[in-house]
Amino acid sequence: MLPERLRVMGIDPGLTRCGLSVVENGRGRAVIPIAVAVVRTPSHAQLAQRLLELSQAVNEWMDEYRPDVVAIERVFERGNVSTVMNTAHGVGVLMLSAAQRNIPVHMYTPSEVKKAISGNGGADKKQMTAMVTRILGLSQAPKPADAADALALAICHCWRAPMLLRQQEQEEQAEIRRQHQQGVLARKKQQANVSSYRV
């Protein structure tokens, strides 16, 4: 069962710029913005140092805002292998921070987020920023784009959480039925073996 107030931390991963956001679900499809920021690390610094700075910033956010769940953009091939690898390292740090606090993590592709927010999996950044601004009732658009992307991820999870919970409950019920059926079959087999032994 979902908590009455689900607090979601949305993260648009990146080493140069990492978007962080926190929102809460409201009534129906209403989403309440709590905080948004962009963490920057210097591109000239060593990878390990950049990951450390990202980790420290995310840990501070998780400890301050105490999200119930984290939504992170799934890394995919964008052409520049070095950028993808650096982003993947960053995602590992982000997931570890959540795991250390027993916070569940959900991953979403950009097209999943775009479709959830705008109804169009191919929406551009301008359209997405406009939708995020409208959905959250903001007086001005969140900037830079990484901030808007982080908010979009959090909104996406707020809206998908009830469906994901239903799927999880259905899977759990199916597993219970499967285990029950296996137990019934095992007992029948055992009874059959006992009967044949008696004969």
Is 24 part of the annotated catalytic residue set?
no
Residue 133 lies in a domain: yes
Residue 65 lies in a domain: yes
Is 68 part of the annotated catalytic residue set?
no
> For position 22, what pLDDT does the model report?
98
Catalytic pick among 12, 24, 53, 149: 12
Residue 54 lies in a domain: yes
Is residue 145 within 8 Å of residue 16, measured between CB atoms? Answer: no
Per residue in 88-102, pLDDT (tens digit) is 999 999 999 999 999
Residue 135 lies in a domain: yes
Is 169 part of the annotated catalytic residue set?
no
State the Cα–Cα distance between residues 124 and 81, nearest whole angstrom: 23
Would you call 130 helix, strand, or coil by DSSP? Answer: helix
CATH of the domain at 67: 3.30.420.10
Q: Are strands 7-12 and 31-40 parallel, antiparallel or unpaired?
A: unpaired
Per residue in 20-51, pLDDT (tens digit) is 999 999 888 899 999 999 999 999 999 999 99
Residue 138 lies in a domain: yes
- Beta strands (DSSP E) in 26-142 are 31-40, 69-73, 105-108
Residue 189 lies in a domain: no
What average pLDDT does the chain have?
87
Number of domains in the chain: 1
Better pLDDT: 96 or 163: 96
Residue 185 lies in a domain: no
Catalytic pick among 24, 53, 146, 149: 146
Residue 30 lies in a domain: yes
Domain that holds residue 152: 7-170
CA distance to 13, 67, 79, 119, 188, per residue, from 133 (Å) = 20, 21, 30, 15, 61
